[in-house]
Structure 1
Amino acid sequence: MSAPGTSDANPVPQGNQSGEHRYHFAIDIDGEFAVFTLDTHGQVETWNASAERITGYGAGEILGKPLSVLYPTVSAGVPVHSDILVRAATTGRAYDEGWHARKDGIRFWASVLVIAQQREQGDLAGFAAVTHDLSQRQLIEAKLRRSEQRLQAMIDSVEDYAIFMLSPTGEVTSWNTGAQRIEGYCAGEIIGRHFSVFYPPEARTAGLPERMLETASTQGRSEAEGWRVRSDGSRFWADAIITPIRDDKGALQGFAKVTRDLTEHKRLEQLEHVGELAAATERAREEEKKRIARELHDDLGQQLTALKMSAVILQQDVEAGHYTAETAAKARGLVVQADDTMSALRRIASNLRPTMLDDLGLLPAVEWLADEFSRRYGIKASTRLSAGELAFSDTASTAIFRIVQEALTNVARHACATEVVVTIELDDNACEVRIDDNGRGAASAPGDKPDSFGLLGIRERVRQLNGTVSLGNRLDRGFRVQIRFPIDTIVRH
């Protein structure tokens, strides 16, 4: 604290001491500061009205008394102010905050600034002192401390949330019971360490902790859900919120971070997803059984019936001894019908698992699938395949083939499209698969709902290969299924 200004000070003669005039300053600054002077022995020489109001001593009671009367004493009787005059005489000024004593013995917290006064010759002439009653400030600070203690006690009692503070650069500065339970660290192990230790290596490499702080600082809040790491290395799924803490001037003081363990919620969500997938898979099996049964009945069944009828007629001719040209034609017809039946069997088997996927690879199999789709449904299907140099693994080949197959099935059932394009191409370090149609889009197509089996099956196959899937209407017309796979998850190793 600096001494108050003396622009209103009036020098008042205080008498003659060793032939020299001494002066004091009669200063009263809004009744807020006690201003007085001391001689070289520390005895009061001048006293202002504020000093009387603050301490209770009138000028007549205090002049000539030592400074020690304004201080309480410790048990040994040594005044707590004993070194302030020595420090002021040595360095020119001294400042202290501490307990002072009023005339009635009541203590109050105050600051005191003592400034050494020198004569023209340079020797010590005495001291000027300014005392400020800080009782109200101390009360406010005490209330703040109690509030902080209550808040900290409340935070410490929370066990379901990790609540702690970070420095502006991300070091942990406080820790609660919930943080210890969730993160696994005790306060002594974690305070002072950077909060990036809570993130898995891949998140640290990607700079996620730093981005969280930057977002919180610039936008007022950052929130992220993902895997976090406990002190023992185990992972848990968490939701974390970071908010900046600023002073009254807007300067960043640090961050508050709240983390919630969502592992159980995530597990239940996954179980629910697995249950939905299992139910959808069962529905798909039933649909596939119906489709195969229908094809066997409508296609293969009809051909077998015709084959049987022709065989019966031929048998009757043979038994009757009718070996004519007509009999030979009937025999040739049986061969043709047998060939048609075998073709139908091969087609049905190919729908279940195309042999060319194993014999020729993914891209020729996709071309065949597009041709079969066009032939069967009358919808023009074209392919744009530019990933021929990539050696797809068997798992990836099967997954991508089924994805294209399921997407085309959705187009046939729901899109009302006249054209569809299948694209498989390499892009940077990824392989992109797109199925674009010119149909009516997702808004009016019930089969394009995210929970329909075709799209659910696509999502699951993509997830198993660490890919990403995007579903939505095209800008011009139709619907797009867009999938990206990291190269290293689909190549043959």
Structure 2
Amino acid sequence: MLRDPIEIQETACRLLGEYFGADRVGYAEVQEDGETVMITRSYTEGQPSLEGLYRLDDYGPDLLHAFREGRTVVRPDIANDRLLTDAEKRAHAILNLGATLNKPLLKHGELFGILFVHFFQAHEFTEEELILTEETAERTWAAAARARSEEALLLSEGRYRTLFESIDEGFCLIEVLFDEKDTPFDYRFLEANPAFERHTGLSNAVGRTVREMVPAHESHWFQIYGHIARTGIARRFEQTADALGRLYDVYAFRVGDPAAHQVAVLFNDVSTRKAAERKIQENEERLRTLFESMTEGFVIKEAVTDENGQITDFRFIECNPAFSRMTGLTDPAGCRVSELTPNAEPIWFESLTRVLASGDPVRFETRISRSECWWEVSVSRIGGPGSHRVAIVLMDVTARKSSEAALAKAREELEIRVAERTSDLQKAMTRLQSEAAERERLERDRHDLLRRQVRTQEEERKRISRELHDNLGQYLTAVMLRVQLLRKSFESGDSIDSITSTIEDLKTVVDSLMKASHRQAWELRPAELDHFGLEPALRAYVTDWSERTGIATTFDSSHWHEVRLHADCEIALYRVVQEALTNVARHAVAEEVTVTLKSNGDIEVQVKDDGKGFDPEIPTKRLGLLGMKERISLVEGCLTIDSAPGSGTVVSAKVSRPTCSSS
């Protein structure tokens, strides 16, 4: 029977290699850094061995990860393996590897060794080869481990005692007790190390049986230890001790004379670890349930680097169903991003590389090409610095984006409406202010008009009074004088001829008084205006005015068509001409005047003189000019004065025909 651990491993490798026809079979031991392996011996069919140190990352980033998870890695055709980069394929080619099968060996969840099978050419491994390799790895390594343990137990007493006292595992040497039917029913503690009490809670156990200390101790313990004591077959197992409330990881083997029924027991209380493992398993199940049922898409990606260590792409590792529904990628695991989504937006690659470099999570929003869908993307690094994996969560935010767009549009429309209303209100305010200013101006004008009207009336009264005094007054005085003379003639008995002469003289004065009275009444309100209209009245007035002033005057009505106007319009235009001629007589020093009356379109009257003229821009307080403007404005007409010093004056009054039409 083989006892040497190295001999056990070498024999297993040789037999496995010959059976498979493999080119190389061996064991690699994982070093303390957990990332490199040492190969010291291996079976080779006349080929160079691989003794030395190797980095597992050189042969693919998934390799070490799979080993740590306890997964066997099979690569039947390395040269055409699409999961390997060119650099990784070259690393395999250096070792002349065409196909590999690697079975990891774990202890307490830690990777400590690898059994490898190499072919120089591509090779399709059968299910039988896989099962045989895995069983060989487990059994030979366990056998080697047991052999090492047995050697350790056979060391010198000093070294044994040091180990006995210092190891963390509980250790005891027991004598299995059998009844008359050769059935194990109890066992006695012969030796126990200090860690024994910590792992069992039992003190002063040496010399006592377990039944004495724990009467309810389960019988299956006696069966296991009894079988080891009788057969000498060591055994590693896990078993509960319900009476102690603990779970043990046990390695038990027979020692000494088989007839002594002594068994050495090396054990650990793994209750806490197992509870933690159960908790981890429960958490993993809950996480898996969440992973499968969550509505957000979730995917893990791994960076792909070139020979210089630069990230060139990302590979899909795992995704949940929601991710597949959202993206349409049903089974992307193992594929590169550039293969499945060659037109991906640059923000994806930039964000993932930034997260791997800094370790800081990144969140961004992106719109799916040729779609109305929006995603909110959260990216986080898995692991610490140097990790090549990221976790990505996708959330469909299309509805929120639509709401935001609708809200933004509504806000924009509201701002436009507010601006429009503000503009309307501003216009209305401006219009109201303008109307208010206009009303204020009109009120001022009304007051001014009233004041001017009062002044005009007073001036008119003064003029009439002056006319009565200067004209009619002198004629009345002459009449009085003639009447007095006539009375004296009667009283003194003057001759008939003298009296008749006085009477004729009185008659002449009375005739002159009547003519003056008639002219005065005509100037105040010409009868022709009422009976015959504007044109005859103006013609008569202009003729009389020319005779009285001695200024040559022309009256032109060649463009006047016989028409009667509204009385207000006729009197307004008449008074404008009357006032304009009065100003000419008083101020113009004119030699020639032309008065024109037209009715081609609107009604227009014009008074033009060749007098000295004046500057219309210089403000004036002459009531004549102001009166003319007011009279024309009352009939919705307009008055214009065109004059300049030394160039005469033209006064024009115009009223629209509809306004002047006689009702």
**Aligned residue for 1:347?**
519
What SS is found at the alignment partner of 1:271?
A: helix
What SS is found at the alignment partner of 1:64?
A: strand
Question: Aligned AA for 2:424?
Answer: A
Question: Aligned AA for 1:376?
Answer: R
Q: How many residues align?
A: 314
What SS is found at the alignment partner of 2:636?
A: coil
406-415 or 287-296, which moves further after superposition? 406-415
**Cα distance between partner residues in 2 of 1:44 and 1:113:** 24
Question: Closer, same or farther in 2 for the Cα pair 1:473/1:78, shift >3 Å?
Answer: farther
Deviation of 1:358 after TM superposition, in Å, equals 1.0
TM-score by length of 1: 0.53
What SS is found at the alignment partner of 2:606?
A: strand
| Deviations 1:448-482, CA, capped at 9 Å, x for gaps | 84653222222222222222332222799211222
What SS is found at the alignment partner of 2:574?
A: helix
Query: Residue 479 of structure 2 contacts residue 506 of structure 2 at CA under 8 Å; is this kept in 1?
Result: yes
**Aligned residue for 2:562?**
389
**Cα distance between partner residues in 2 of 1:318 and 1:372:** 40
Structure 1 residue 455 corresponds to structure 2 residue 628: no
Larger radius of gyration: 2
Q: Relative contact order: is structure 1 or structure 2 higher (C-alpha 8 Å, sep ≥ 6)?
A: 1
Structure 1 residue 266 corresponds to structure 2 residue 517: no
Query: Residue 641 of structure 2 contacts residue 651 of structure 2 at CA under 8 Å; is this kept in 1?
Result: yes
Query: Residue 442 of structure 1 contacts residue 472 of structure 1 at CA under 8 Å; is this kept in 2?
Result: no
Which 4+ runs in 1 deviate beyond 4 A?
15-19, 41-48, 58-62, 65-68, 81-86, 92-98, 106-115, 180-183, 448-451
Match of residue 419, structure 1, among 581, 592, 606: 592
**Cα distance between partner residues in 1 of 2:305 and 2:460:** 104
Match of residue 508, structure 2, among 315, 318, 336: 336
**Cα distance between partner residues in 2 of 1:450 and 1:112:** 81
Match of residue 489, structure 2, among 314, 317, 323: 317
Query: Residue 436 of structure 1 contacts residue 481 of structure 1 at CA under 8 Å; is this kept in 2?
Result: yes
| Deviations 1:182-231, CA, capped at 9 Å, x for gaps | 74xxxxxxxxxxxxxxxxxxxxxxxxxxxxxxxxxxxxxxxxxxxxxxxx
| Deviations 1:71-120, CA, capped at 9 Å, x for gaps | xxxxxx978x956999xx9xx9899999x9774345567778689xxxxx
Match of residue 419, structure 2, among 174, 180, 183: 174
| Deviations 1:395-423, CA, capped at 9 Å, x for gaps | 21111111111222222222222222111
**Cα distance between partner residues in 2 of 1:283 and 1:409:** 18
Question: Aligned AA for 1:372?
Answer: D
Task: Note the 1:246-325 alignment, pairs <5 A.
Answer: 261-325=433-497
**Cα distance between partner residues in 1 of 2:641 and 2:345:** 71
**Cα distance between partner residues in 2 of 1:327 and 1:367:** 42
| Deviations 1:250-299, CA, capped at 9 Å, x for gaps | xxxxxxxxx66312111110011111111111111121112111111121
**Cα distance between partner residues in 1 of 2:543 and 2:328:** 99
The structure that is helix-richer by fraction is 2
Query: Residue 479 of structure 2 contacts residue 509 of structure 2 at CA under 8 Å; is this kept in 1?
Result: yes
Task: Note the 1:127-206 alignment, pairs <5 A.
Answer: 174-177=419-422, 179-180=424-425, 183=428
Query: Residue 466 of structure 1 contacts residue 489 of structure 1 at CA under 8 Å; is this kept in 2?
Result: yes
Deviation of 1:390 after TM superposition, in Å, equals 2.3
**Cα distance between partner residues in 2 of 1:381 and 1:178:** 59
Percent identity among equivalent residues?
A: 28
Match of residue 315, structure 2, among 48, 64, 74: 64
**Cα distance between partner residues in 2 of 1:452 and 1:16:** 116
Question: Closer, same or farther in 2 for the Cα pair 1:46/1:484, shift >3 Å?
Answer: farther
TM-score by length of 2: 0.40
**Cα distance between partner residues in 1 of 2:480 and 2:622:** 41
**Cα distance between partner residues in 2 of 1:347 and 1:106:** 108
**Aligned residue for 2:638?**
468
**Cα distance between partner residues in 1 of 2:513 and 2:445:** 42
| Deviations 1:295-334, CA, capped at 9 Å, x for gaps | 1112111111111111111101112222331111001111
Query: Residue 94 of structure 1 contacts residue 114 of structure 1 at CA under 8 Å; is this kept in 2?
Result: no
Question: Aligned AA for 1:396?
Answer: C
**Aligned residue for 1:374?**
546
Query: Residue 304 of structure 2 contacts residue 311 of structure 2 at CA under 8 Å; is this kept in 1?
Result: no
**Aligned residue for 2:658?**
488
User: What stretches of structure 2 of length at least 5 have no aligned partner?
Assistant: 1-78, 87-298, 331-338, 372-407
Query: Residue 85 of structure 1 contacts residue 94 of structure 1 at CA under 8 Å; is this kept in 2?
Result: no
Question: Closer, same or farther in 2 for the Cα pair 1:175/1:335, shift >3 Å?
Answer: same
**Cα distance between partner residues in 2 of 1:480 and 1:47:** 101
Question: Closer, same or farther in 2 for the Cα pair 1:260/1:297, shift >3 Å?
Answer: closer
Question: Closer, same or farther in 2 for the Cα pair 1:482/1:17, shift >3 Å?
Answer: farther
What SS is found at the alignment partner of 1:392?
A: coil
**Cα distance between partner residues in 2 of 1:66 and 1:483:** 99
Question: Aligned AA for 2:314?
Answer: L
What SS is found at the alignment partner of 2:647?
A: coil
Deviation of 1:64 after TM superposition, in Å, equals 2.5
Query: Residue 396 of structure 1 contacts residue 465 of structure 1 at CA under 8 Å; is this kept in 2?
Result: yes
**Cα distance between partner residues in 2 of 1:439 and 1:66:** 111
Question: Closer, same or farther in 2 for the Cα pair 1:284/1:63, shift >3 Å?
Answer: same
Question: Aligned AA for 2:556?
Answer: R
**Aligned residue for 1:194?**
none
Query: Residue 423 of structure 1 contacts residue 435 of structure 1 at CA under 8 Å; is this kept in 2?
Result: yes
Question: Closer, same or farther in 2 for the Cα pair 1:268/1:83, shift >3 Å?
Answer: farther
Query: Residue 44 of structure 1 contacts residue 67 of structure 1 at CA under 8 Å; is this kept in 2?
Result: no
Question: Aligned AA for 2:477?
Answer: T
Question: Aligned AA for 2:597?
Answer: I
**Cα distance between partner residues in 1 of 2:328 and 2:579:** 88
**Cα distance between partner residues in 1 of 2:656 and 2:311:** 92
Question: Closer, same or farther in 2 for the Cα pair 1:397/1:67, shift >3 Å?
Answer: farther
**Aligned residue for 1:436?**
608
**Cα distance between partner residues in 1 of 2:80 and 2:451:** 108
